[in-house]
Amino acid sequence: MAASPADEAARIVTVLLEGLTLMATLLAARAGRLLFRVAGVAVVGAVVAAVVSAVLGYSSEVVTGWFFAINVLLVGAAPVAIVRALYRRTVVDVRTVLGAVCVYLLIGILFAFVYASLDGITGESFFVQTESAGIQTFLYFSFTTQTTVGYGDYTAATNLGRTLATTEALLGQIYLVTVIALLVSRMTVTRREPQRSDDPGSGAEEAPTGE
C-alpha cells in the first residue's frame, strides 16, 4: 500500500489484500464458523464496492472517505481476532511474540485509514502541508507517529486529528514497553528455566564417590 500508485486499481488490490489478511487471521485464530462466514460476506461486499466504484468512476472525496472507512472495519477486526487467540494460548513462544508484533503493525495501518477516512468524509484537509494526501502519506504519517519519530514534514491540521495522533503515539509506546516487553521476558524465562534433577527425563546422574 505504501508503494502503490493512487488510482482505482490500487484501491481494489488494497481491499483484496486486507480481506485476505482478515480471513487468514481468522483461520489462524481458529475463529467460529459464523464469524468466519460474516467476515467473508463483508470482504466480498467490500471488494465488489471497490470494483463498482472504479468501473463507474466514483472518485469524489466523500466516496473515497467512506471507502477508507470500510477499510477501517476490515483492518480493525484482525487485531481483535489475534488478541483473542493469544489470550487462549497457554505458552509464550516465538509465535506468541510474532502475533503481538502483528497487532502492533495492524494498529498503525488502522490509524492510517482512520486519518484517511476523516480527510474524505469531513471535507477538511487532514494535514497542514497538503490538501491531496493519498493513503501512502497517511501510512507514512501513522507509523512515524506510532514510533514517535515525528519528522514534522506532515502535521495534523484539526484538533481531532491532533488528538488521534497523540493517542496513537501513546498507544504505540505503551504497547511496546508493556505487552511486547512482557511477552519477550516471559519467553526468555521459559527457555532458561533449569530442569529439575529429580526429573526422570533430565538425564541427571549421581556424582562419583571417588576412591
pTM: 0.78
pLDDT-derived band at 84 (thresholds 50, 70, 90) equals confident
Residue 12 corresponds to which amino acid? I
**pLDDT value at residue 9:** 75
For the residues of 69-87, what is the DSSP string, one character each?
HHHHHHHHHHHHHHHHHHH
- What are the structural domain ranges in the chain? 8-191
- Model confidence over 36-78: pLDDT tens digits? 888 888 888 888 877 877 776 666 667 777 778 888 888 888 8
- Cα gap 76→22, rounded to integer Å: 9
Q: Cell numbers 460474516 label which residue?
A: 38
How far is 135 from 116, CA to CA, in rounded Å? Answer: 7
Classified by CATH at the fold level, domain 8-191 comes out as Helix Hairpins (1.10.287)
